[in-house]
Chains A and B, each alone.
Chain A
Amino acid sequence: MDLHLSPAHLAFRDELRAWLRANLRRPWRDELRDPAHGEDSLMELRRAWQRKLHEAGYLGMDWPREWGGRGATAVEKAIFEAEMAHADAPQILNTLGIGLLGPALIHHGSEEQRRRFVPPMLAGDEIWCQGFSEPGAGSDLASIKTSAVLDGDSFVLNGQKVWTTFGPWADWIFVLARTDPKDRYGGISFLLCKLDTPGVTVRPLRQMTGESEFGEVFFEDARVPREQLVGHVGEGWRIAMTVLAYERGAVGLAMANRYGRDLAELAAACRELGRTDTASREKLGRLLVENEVLRAAGVRMLATLAEGRAPGAESSLEKITWSEFDKRFRETALDLLGPGGQLLRHAPGARSEVDWAREYLWSRAGTIYSGSSEIQRNIIAKRVLGLPQDGR
């Protein structure tokens, strides 16, 4: 066993920390506390932050240099995420473009597609959303019905996507569409569609947080030029699996850092509020313990990457671990904070360090998106435990 970061990784981390000290304006959350700021302000702040990171060469961490990436290892990418969380940096704006589509284009796209789409994606000039889920295809993603029919030089798209994260803010969408109704997996293709294409309508969906980060996208005879097909016709499912592997990523350590920061704030709040009774201490202690376990799992994942192994089904374990903990954490936090924990961000007396009310609500999303906890347990049962499969 050796859980020390290598000298090269330590140097990378220290350089990144120095850069963050010089470039991350804190407390950036305060800028958003003014009720005059809506969701737009947050998005613009995220765009500006993305550009800053891009200029410093910190985007597309593990992409090849020729495509504007840093050519870094998976370990460095995980360290990058962990440090961003540790420093409480804002998220970038184009999370889905850079996090998901970029890798898909690098693995499966054509040279022209990479040249056309990657630079504006990195610069935050073109924002992407993900068109996977449909009203009739969520956990059972392969039953998508949105159709793409080749007509001359373009595919004609018809159908509906839903829970489209960033839909209302995006310029482009990457779409899983059915090119063969008879072939469940082999009949799916991966297309890129501009959202101002005639026949495409985006409608924001209001989430339980009150925000509209996601939406629904309707296609009515929308024409997508043939050169915006990624890979070949029928390769969509395979490409989607690449995308989902990136989506689940190695985030345990980053999550433990983020929760650890919020936990320290919660501990301080408990002291201020006089919640130092045994029952409250036990609650706080259990959260601390669980977050340390998450940290240990994150360190183990980092070591797995450092040994050059791809995580595979371990990502499913990691995702269940952090997302289920997030729910318990936020519930207990509100419990300890009392009614004040429910105050909206700009209410008088709301705690400034963490938006506890928003986090409480958001924690309900983590066990649904990117493969629900139930789907992750199916994956574990099948791929890790090797349990028989024809029971459902």
Chain B
Amino acid sequence: MRFALSEDQALLQRSTREFFATEFPMEQNRRVMEHEPAGFERAGWGHIAEMGYLGLTVPSARGGQGLGAVELAVVLEEAGRHCVPGPLLDGMLAATLLASGTGHDALLADVLAGRRLVTIARDEALYAGGRAAPTAFERGRVRGTKYFVPFAASADALAVATADQIVVATGPFAATALPTFDLSQRFAQVTLDGPATALGPAALLGRVDLLAAVGAGAMLLGLMSRMLEATIAYTQTRQAFGKPIAIFQALQHRMAEMLARTESTRAAVYRAAWCVDHDDAEAPLACAAAKAWAADAARLVCGEAIQMHGGIGFTWELDVHFYFKRAKTLEQHYGSTATQLERALAAAGY
């Protein structure tokens, strides 16, 4: 029995941490988030593809790395820690979905190489009242409206969920940008009315959902870890009443609580990932719990980071707000907390 990462996994963690630190320094991420309309740069995306991250959980027979959810978590924890903007998780999930369906080999190869971007279009729940007609696939055409499609404006194709199957629609799409306060992500409302090809049954999303929960949970874990480190460092530098403020018990106890949330999230996320990789019967419950918990924990930890930084914590200048905002996006997507709670209850038979 061993909770620590294997040698290979630890190596992946080190190389990923180094890669993001070198290729995605925060000043650059900040520039991309603030000024790049797409929300990411093609050059950086190419580097991500070269590292093989996009095909991490794609079987090697289909051109991927053939690794599992634990490795996915390792990479995304680091992406969260470095606040890497762009469709990394979305691209990984779409590649996994494409590889689990039939046909689309050329598209999958292009996705893994970073030449084309595919994301998953799923959500039909309207963000402001009402509900759209369900997306339908008939006689080779897909029709419908999808909301909050990740990076739709940059996507070359979308994997579109209908009630019973997944189809692939090729762009360009009529996409209306849905700007939110989180600049690390880009969303759009997409109206589909064009040719599409069948990928497979909707049940293919089952595995994608588990990986999405683990992946988003791991990213949240990375955000939290970084915010805890930043808070510990800042409170030891900042002086008040002639002392570093880290000396005050009121702050120490809150930082202890931040650690408790971060470490319990780590246990939950990596155990969930391990359960997915071993087809463990506990996987659905473990994944739902990990994602729901990680979301609450990250909101608390990132919020406490703002509070303990004081006035500077509320400025645009400090990086903390990017983390705080991203935590909220990750909470509401990849299976919102309400969705994860229902999944957990269903998995437990309650």
Query: Are the C-beta atoms of B292 and A267 separated by less than 8 Å?
Result: no
B residues sitting closer than 8 Å to A (CB atoms) are 1-6, 9, 70, 232, 235-236, 243-244, 246-249, 252-253, 255-257, 259-260, 263-268, 270-272, 274-275, 278, 285-286, 288-290, 292-293, 338, 340-342, 344-345, 348, 350
9-residue interface stretch from A170-178, A298-306, A341-349: A298-306
9-residue interface stretch from A107-115, A186-194, A204-212, A282-290: A282-290
Query: Are the C-beta atoms of A317 and B263 separated by less than 8 Å?
Result: yes
Chain B neighbourhood of A2, CB < 8 A: 1-2
Query: Are the C-beta atoms of A285 and B264 separated by less than 8 Å?
Result: no
> Given A3-B274, A289-B289, does the pair A385, B255 have CB atoms closer than 8 Å?
yes
Q: How far is the CA of A264 from the CA of B248 in the complex (A)?
A: 42
Q: How far is the CA of A387 from the CA of B257 in the complex (A)?
A: 14
Name A9's closest neighbour in chain B (CB-CB).
B1
Q: Which of A2, A293, A296 has the most CB of B within 10 A?
A: A296
Q: Mark A193-207, 1 if CB is under 8 A from B, else 0.
A: 000000000000000
Interface residue from B248, B257, B260, B350 paired with A267 (Cβ < 8 Å): B350
Task: List, sorted by A's number, 29 A–B pairs whose CB atoms are closer than 8 Å.
Answer: A1-B6, A1-B9, A1-B270, A2-B1, A9-B1, A263-B348, A284-B345, A288-B289, A288-B341, A288-B344, A289-B292, A289-B341, A290-B293, A292-B286, A292-B289, A293-B265, A293-B267, A293-B289, A296-B271, A300-B266, A300-B271, A304-B3, A307-B3, A317-B260, A377-B253, A381-B253, A385-B256, A387-B252, A389-B247
Q: Which of A5, A289, A381 has the most CB of B within 10 A?
A: A289
Name A299's closest neighbour in chain B (CB-CB).
B271
| Extra contacts besides A292-B290, A299-B271, A317-B263 (14): CB < 8 Å | A285-B292, A288-B285, A288-B289, A289-B340, A290-B293, A293-B267, A294-B264, A296-B271, A296-B272, A320-B260, A381-B253, A387-B255, A389-B247, A391-B252
Check if A388 is an interface residue, CB within 8 A of chain B.
yes
Check if A297 is an interface residue, CB within 8 A of chain B.
yes
Chain A neighbourhood of B265, CB < 8 A: 293
Main secondary structure of the interface of A (DSSP, over half): helix
Q: How far is the CA of A388 from the CA of B249 in the complex (A)?
A: 10
Q: Which positions 369-392 of chain A face chain B at CB distance < 8 Å?
A: 374, 376-378, 380-381, 384-385, 387-392
Count contacts on A: residues with CB < 8 A to the other chain: 50
Query: Are the C-beta atoms of A296 and B348 separated by less than 8 Å?
Result: no
Check if A4 is an interface residue, CB within 8 A of chain B.
yes
Q: How far is the CA of A180 from the CA of B126 in the complex (A)?
A: 73
Query: Are the C-beta atoms of B341 and A385 separated by less than 8 Å?
Result: no
Query: Are the C-beta atoms of A288 and B4 separated by less than 8 Å?
Result: no
Chain A neighbourhood of B266, CB < 8 A: 300
Chain B neighbourhood of A320, CB < 8 A: 260
Chain B neighbourhood of A302, CB < 8 A: 1
Check if A85 is an interface residue, CB within 8 A of chain B.
no
Query: Are the C-beta atoms of A299 and B267 separated by less than 8 Å?
Result: yes
Query: Are the C-beta atoms of B264 and A293 separated by less than 8 Å?
Result: yes
Chain A neighbourhood of B342, CB < 8 A: 281, 285
Q: How far is the CA of A306 from the CA of B290 in the complex (A)?
A: 23
Interface residue from B1, B264, B268, B341 paired with A4 (Cβ < 8 Å): B1
Chain A neighbourhood of B272, CB < 8 A: 296
Q: How far is the CA of A384 from the CA of B228 in the complex (A)?
A: 12
Chain A neighbourhood of B243, CB < 8 A: 391
Query: Are the C-beta atoms of A381 and B256 separated by less than 8 Å?
Result: yes
Query: Are the C-beta atoms of A321 and B271 separated by less than 8 Å?
Result: no
Could you tell me the distance in whole angstroms from the C-beta of B285 to the nearest C-beta in chain A? 6
Chain B neighbourhood of A285, CB < 8 A: 292, 341-342, 344-345
Query: Are the C-beta atoms of A281 and B293 separated by less than 8 Å?
Result: no
> Given A293-B293, A378-B249, A388-B247, does the pair A299, B3 have CB atoms closer than 8 Å?
yes
Could you tell me the distance in whole angstroms from the C-beta of B232 to the nearest C-beta in chain A? 6
Chain B neighbourhood of A377, CB < 8 A: 252-253, 256-257
Chain A neighbourhood of B345, CB < 8 A: 267, 281, 284-285, 288
Q: How far is the CA of A285 from the CA of B349 in the complex (A)?
A: 11
Could you tell me the distance in whole angstroms from the C-beta of B47 to the nearest C-beta in chain A? 27
